[in-house]
Structure 1
Amino acid sequence: MILTVTLNVALDVTYETPVVEWGGSNRVGAVRRRAGGKGVNVARVAAALGREVVATGLIGGDTGELIRADLDAAGLRHSFHGVRAESRRTVTVVEEHGAATVFNEGGPEVAAGEWAGFLAHFRSLLPATSVVVLSGSMPPGVPPDAYAVLAEASDMPVILDADGAALGLGVAGRPTLVKPNAEELARATGEPSPVEGALALRAQGAGAVLVSLGHEGMLAITPDGNWRAVPPGLETGNPTGAGDAAVAAVASGLADRASWPELLRHAVALSAAAVRAPVAGDFDGPAYARLLSEIVVHPL
């Protein structure tokens, strides 16, 4: 079983409108509401790949109940730990010409006792787990080294996908793989070179580092060698969720004990296929199958 952890789960609300008149009144066209957060997106993609998945994390309030209901409707297994404060919403305003503006709430204030309760809940889920995925931001009140604590508690492969302090402190827990994009990697290490940045994260405790380079593909810096994979062409569409799809591919590969080059090939193909989907957590199945046969992995 793949266990995804989303400490700052969200209800993603998307408004579609021809154009935004800032400071005025706007008529909204289509409205979409969906359970979100990076770990939830990973769980959706992994489940679509046929994997047994459980999503966990912290959840609270009426918004939390809407999130649970959406996951139930999607048939996605979940086992969240409740908190008193309200889970966050994200609001994305998409204009007709393609521009998108995102408003991210901070998330619920988590009490010390609630965090301790989640740790116990998390440990109770581990005996049935083969791979753990730690993804996304952390709400207020959660210890800054939370990802390191969760990684250290796990005796199976752990994937960490985070930014800022959550990433910098999380590698101390010695996760099996860390998946930053180039900007996140540079912020965490101060290294402008993705290869040098990845080597720095490995020196800090990461077992391997998979670096997303956007349309230029991905790098894998591992204990067994270093590789690069590039998609055959630029996929146009919605890049939101592409990184989460890559993490789902990596989790599946670790569960299957795939080689690093094969794991990288699937991560690039699934990430590119996710760009062709309208919302995060989905991917274009035919595009994924086609890209798998076209992507070539090169040793560095």
Structure 2
Amino acid sequence: MIVTVTLNPALDITHTVASLVPHSSHRVTDVAAQAGGKGVNVARVLHALGLPTVAVAFRGGLTGAAVAADLDRHGIAHRLVDTAGESRRTFTVVDLGSGDATVFNEAGPAVSGAEWQALREQVHRLLTGASVLVLSGSLPPGLPDTAYAQLAGAAARAGVPVILDAAGPPLRAGVAAGPDVIKPNASELAEATGLPDPLAAAEALRAAGARAVVASLGPAGLLAVTPDGTFRAEPPAPLAGNPTGAGDSVVAAIAAGIHTGTSWPHRLADAVALSTATVKAPRAGQFDADTYHRLAPRPAGSRTPTPHPS
């Protein structure tokens, strides 16, 4: 079972317009709302892949109730911890003309010490049957920068591999706890290390405690610095679409690879296929099945994508 933790979940609201023009009125062609936050997106992708997963998150107010209802509606197992504050919303406007997405993120409700303790206890109980623990996204107000490090430490004591997808101080604190994999993007790598070269930055984060670093480099694909070597995996070609959630699909593929015991080259090929398929889908946490099955690695004869040693 893959356990995902989302400390700052959201109700993701997406509006689609023909063309986004500043300072003007728009007619919305499509409206959608679904449970979101990075860890929830990971759980949604894993569920669609048929893998056992449980989403752990905070839930507050009417927005939190809508998050829970969406998870129930899609059959995604969850353990939600109530908060006094209202869960946050995100608002995304997708421009059909350019394929660009403009995102507005609320901060989220403050979390009390008692609420944080209740969520930690929930995670500790789930670690007994967990194959992977995924820690993803921003921290809500009220939680310390060491929040992910605390959960990673508990997983290490339980012998459960940890994937951390965070930024800034929570990432730096989490790296010190020795997660099995971290997944920063290029800007997060540079911010965390002060090094502009992604390879040098990834090696520095490994030296600081992470066992493996998988960096999302946008159109350049993925860079992985692992105990088994350094690899790069590139998408087959640049694709137009909505990139929101593509990084969460990378995390889902890595978690799936750890859960099933595949090699690093296979995990990265799967991550590129799944993230590419996500760009072709309308919303985060979803992927275009035809694109994924066309690109996903096969036991033999697979041509794309092909990770290669760096």
TM class by smaller structure:
over 0.9
Q: Is the CA contact 1:245–1:274 (under 8 Å) kept in the aligned structure 2?
A: yes
Aligned to 1:111: 112
Q: Does 1:97 align with 2:97?
A: yes
The number of equivalent residue pairs is 300
Further displaced range: 243-252 or 14-23: 14-23
Out of 243, 256, 260, the position equivalent to 1:256 is: 260
Q: Is the CA contact 2:14–2:283 (under 8 Å) kept in the aligned structure 1?
A: no
User: What is the aligned-residue identity percentage?
Assistant: 54
Q: Cα RMSD between the aligned structures?
A: 1.5
Q: Which residue of 1 aligns with 2:40?
A: 40
Q: What's the CA shift string for 1:67-91, capped at 9, x where partnerless? A: 0001111111111111111100011
Q: Which residue of 2 aligns with 1:156?
A: 160
Query: Equivalents in 2 of 1:182, 1:133: separation in Å?
Result: 20
Whether the 8 Å contact between 2:10 and 2:35 is mirrored in structure 1 is yes
Deviations 1:85-144 (A, max 9, x none): 110001122344334332111001101111112111211111111100000001000111
**Amino acid across the alignment from 1:30:** D
Out of 156, 172, 185, the position equivalent to 2:189 is 185
1:141 aligns with 2:151: no
Shift of 1:27: 4.5
Runs of 5+ consecutive residues of structure 2 not aligned to the other structure: 297-301
CA distance in 2, matches of 1:25, 1:219: 41
Q: After the TM superposition, which of the residue ranges 283-292 and 84-93 deviates more from structure 2?
A: 283-292
1:225-262 deviation per Cα after TM superposition (whole angstroms, max 9, x unaligned): 11111122122211111111111110010011211111
- Give the letter for the 2:78 counterpart: H
Instruction: Determine the structure 1 residue equivalent to 2:239.
Output: 235
- Whether 1:285 and 2:289 are equivalent positions in the alignment is yes
Aligned-pair CA distance for 1:30: 2.3
Show the 5 A alignment for 1:33-112.
33-98=33-98, 99-112=100-113
Q: Find the residue that maps to 1:92 and give its secondary structure.
A: strand
Q: Summarize deviations over 1:158-197 as a string: whole Å, max 9, x none.
A: 0001111121111111110001111111111111111101
* Structure 2 residue 276 is the aligned partner of structure 1 residue 272: yes
Question: What amino acid is aligned across from residue 290 of structure 1 in structure 2?
Answer: R
User: TM-score if structure 2 supplies the norm length?
Assistant: 0.92
1:25 offset after TM fit, Å?
5.5
Q: What is the CA distance between 1:266 and its match in structure 2? A: 1.0
* CA distance in 1: counterparts of 2:40 and 2:250, whole angstroms: 13
CA distance in 2 between partners of 1:277 and 1:100 (Å): 12
1:11–1:89 CA contact under 8 A, matched in 2: yes
Are residue 299 (structure 1) and residue 309 (structure 2) matched? yes
Quote the Cα distance in structure 1 between the aligned partners of 2:142 and 2:79. Answer: 21
Q: Is the 8 A contact 2:4 2:54 kept in 1?
A: yes
Conserved in 2, the CA contact under 8 Å of 1:231 and 1:291?
A: no
1:243 match: secondary structure? helix
Partner of 1:13: 13
Amino acid in structure 1 at the alignment position of 2:55? A
Q: Do structure 1's residue 31 and structure 2's residue 31 form an aligned pair?
A: yes
CA contact (8 A) 2:101 2:243 kept: no
Match of 1:121 in 2: 122
**Structure 1 gaps, min length 5:** none
Offset, 1:22 = 5.4
- The two structures have a TM-score, normalised by structure 1, of 0.95
- When structure 1 is superposed on structure 2, of 88-97 and 225-234 the one drifting more is 88-97
Secondary structure of the structure 2 residue equivalent to 1:143: coil
Is residue 90–residue 102 contact of structure 1 (8 Å, CA) maintained in 2?
yes
CA deviations over 1:194-219 (Å, ceiling 9, x no partner): 11010111111101000111121111
Distance 1:181 1:296 in 2: 20
The answer to whether the 8 Å contact 1:274/1:284 transfers is: yes
Q: Give the corresponding residue for 2:132.
A: 131
Which residue number in structure 2 is paired with residue 219 of structure 1? 223
Taking the aligned partners of 1:216 and 1:24, their CA distance within structure 2 comes to 34
* Preserved contact between residue 58 and residue 82 of structure 1 (Cα < 8 Å): yes
